[in-house]
Structure 1
């Protein structure tokens, strides 16, 4: 069988039908032609949106002229209750200042420093899963727990069992089911001056998450001041000064940044890991190869990552088929001309990793799972020009390197100890919440190796 994929709607539907589909799931609301189109236009009475798949246009927006295509305010408003003015949402000089302070914490050398915490979280995940051997288990819950554990251990040097960490995790699970990453304002005729209304549950969960993060941040500031703070990511970020101004993040700014670290570092990794395990259950021959490779984990040093090549390619392929963030929206700040079309100032430019990664005119066998593709000429070419699970250009995810260590490590650790098997009649259907998740969960049988 092929990897699970949501159904596509007919190429032409009424605006009302489109909006109804969109509210249910933005993936299945899109027409099948987007998997082969270089560009598509969506018109509403108030503005226009353009989805671009042509690699040259994607490069223009993300790499060549990113300042001309800032993040759309329409998308920012949807996530502001949780993320405030985090680096994920800001633009211009504010964003540049934030990246100057954050980026040093994720430089190559720091990955080696955080590896023991990732290893400990991986072992803890194995220990938790032992109690579910022989059972049919909801895998997204397993990977969410593991990814949250990694974030808290690497960011604040506390395990997920810590009282505050556990409460953040519980609240965030509720939040991510309530709040889609893209709200309707990105595509439907809503003027800029109309306020974005959020449900009471969304507002309450976001407020409680931020209160808990503030508690952790305030405690860390006190430990930094008295010289007892551990040398983890939170300490590194909170003690790093902007090289241009000498400023550091204050408490409010740090709460915003920790919120996006948790979203980007936990939610996205959990999604990718869950789909990787699903794919392993569908393709047991690849699962066996990866499990054999995982014997290298007798070595617990950072150097073991160079031996997990199959795991890295499997995780990379899972990110291709199920990019955690399915769509990104930018805004044209001046009139443009793309593919002989006039793009007016203020138009929404939609970049869709979901469609780009499965584009029929770019990838060989785009809907098939094949980790070996990354060693082919087509795979190498597409990786350079049509593969953006972490975005690209100046706004590439600062934790991309972090994720490419965490994902293969946890995947290998789990497959070293367990086999994951499909459950007949319960194949998942991808939908978009904060990230690409399964409509009714990913249910697999866990078997001890």
Structure 2
């Protein structure tokens, strides 16, 4: 059985039709040939983009010469109302300073410290899970948001402000396309970006609430009463080069991306993981058997016993990478597989296509957790597996996300049995992350 994926469009359509498809859903807009091509060029009247599936090109852009390929503003413009000047959208020295302050909060030892909060969020998700036919994307969004609030600010999602942020973010998701007009047109800085009114309103509400939380935490830090969580760690970490900490406005930007990246991406991966358990009962039973040993209050050491569950989650991230595409821009003329690319080309790196590439992976559309135990596929992963990006800009929370995903998946499989609903065939589409076009509905019963 192959895992669900969107039906690829025909290889040739008009530019106007392609742009309409692209803005509606990046995945369905792509032609079938991209699952076997090493590189492809797309031309518009205003810019050219180059999809690079060649592992050597991916390594050049992300690992070997990342400063020559900074993040493209064309994608970040659509997220600017909520993310401001966060680490997700910055480049150069600003980005380096931000990472110097943020990275220590996610080092190995801190994962052990945050584990109890993650486990508590998982236990709350189990207690909250309804039975019968359930839309699991919404449930996983709730669970992932709870993880973020507990680990970042030491509050559960039931907290009044946390609940308001979560509700406002759902409103934001409904109004925010992945791309806005600035992605397609070369707009000067002074030209309005034509964000939807609802997008700007919900983003402003989210940022106001985050500001309130951040200012309250700053007061606690000053009074010596702040809990030892991720927010305190980040807000009290000084840049080792300048000695300066984040100002409140800078911290608001970073919290916004922690919530967007840490909540939205984890929710996407967990929802697809539950679908895979439902579609592959033998996998589900093996995960449940492994998870049975967790107990009601798992400790950090329990993670080392969830080896098969970890492989399941890795395979979900291969088939449904939450961030399906990344866009960089070359700062100088570049030779890509013998093609001269002028300065300013949009270099598209697509985990979605790399992870399903017909010339890299064996049976790329099959859901097969056992592939992670073979040397052949581990070699494929070294060349073409980047659910968290790679190189200096690898997601700082990658280790955190793997702990969260594996633990919550095990806790849920320990408590419940998941079955597909007849006639419900989720189709992946790209919104802020890879989601199902009409949600993912599963039948849930207690074990």
- The two structures have a TM-score, normalised by structure 1, of 0.98
Alpha-carbon deviation of 1:376? Answer: 1.1
Correspondence list, 1:36-75, <5 A: 36-75=36-75
State the distance in 2 between where 1:330 and 1:24 align: 21
**Alpha-carbon distance, 1:71 to partner:** 0.4
- Aligned with residue 426 of structure 2, among 425, 428, 449: 428
Whether 1:342 and 2:340 are equivalent positions in the alignment is yes
Aligned to 1:320: 318
1:186-201 to 2 correspondence within 5 Å? 186=183, 188-192=184-188, 194-201=191-198
The answer to whether residue 171 in structure 2 is matched with residue 150 in structure 1 is no
SS at match of 1:27: helix
Asked if the contact 1:86–1:256 (Cα under 8 Å) also holds between the matched residues in 2, the reply is yes
Work out whether residues 180 and 194 of structure 2, in 8 Å CA contact, stay in contact via their aligned partners in 1.
no
Q: Which residue of 1 aligns with 2:360?
A: 362
Instruction: State yes or no: 1:294 paired with 2:288.
Output: no
User: What is the CA distance between 1:234 and its match in structure 2?
Assistant: 0.2
Name 1:445's counterpart in structure 2: 443
Per-residue deviation at 1:427? 1.3
Query: Which of residues 241, 244, 249 in structure 1 aligns to 2:241?
Result: 244
2:28 counterpart SS class: coil
1:143·1:271 contact (CA, 8 Å) conserved in 2? yes
Tell me, yes or no, if the aligned pair for 1:180 and 1:432 is still in contact at 8 Å.
no
What is the CA-CA distance between 1:274 and the residue it aligns to? 0.2
Say which of 400, 413, 420 aligns to 1:415: 413
Counterpart in the other structure of 1:112: 112
1:364–1:378 Cα contact (<8 Å) kept: no
Deviation at 1:307, TM superposition (A): 0.3
Question: Which of 216, 228, 231 is 2:228 aligned to?
Answer: 231
- Mapped contact 1:53–1:351 kept (Cα < 8 A): yes
* Matching residue within 378, 386, 396 for 1:398: 396
Q: 1:192 to 1:338 in 2, by over 3 A?
A: farther
Q: Does 1:174 align with 2:171?
A: yes
Range with greater deviation from structure 2 (83-92 or 189-198): 189-198
- Give the count of matched residue pairs: 445
Structure 1 residue ranges, 4+ long, deviating more than 6 angstroms after superposition: none
Displacement of 1:177 in angstroms is: 2.7
Q: 2:374 aligns with which of 376, 381, 386?
A: 376
Q: CA deviation at 1:192?
A: 4.6
Q: 1:49: how far off?
A: 0.4
Quick one: which of 258, 261, 269 aligns to 2:258? 261
Matches within 5 A, 1:83-102: 83-102=83-102
In the alignment, which residue of structure 2 is the partner of 1:19?
19
1-side partners of 2:231 and 2:360: how far apart? 40
SS at match of 2:29: coil
Match of 1:161 in 2: 158
Per the alignment, residue 139 of structure 1 pairs with 136
Structure 1 unmatched ranges of 5 or more: none
Which residue of the partner structure matches residue 272 of structure 1? Answer: 269
SS state of the match for residue 28, structure 1? helix
Q: Please state whether the residue corresponding to 1:358 is helix, strand or coil.
A: coil
User: For 1:389 and 1:181, how far apart are their aligned partners in 2?
Assistant: 18
* Mapped contact 1:22–1:184 kept (Cα < 8 A): no
* Conserved? CA contact 2:180–2:195, under 8 Å: no
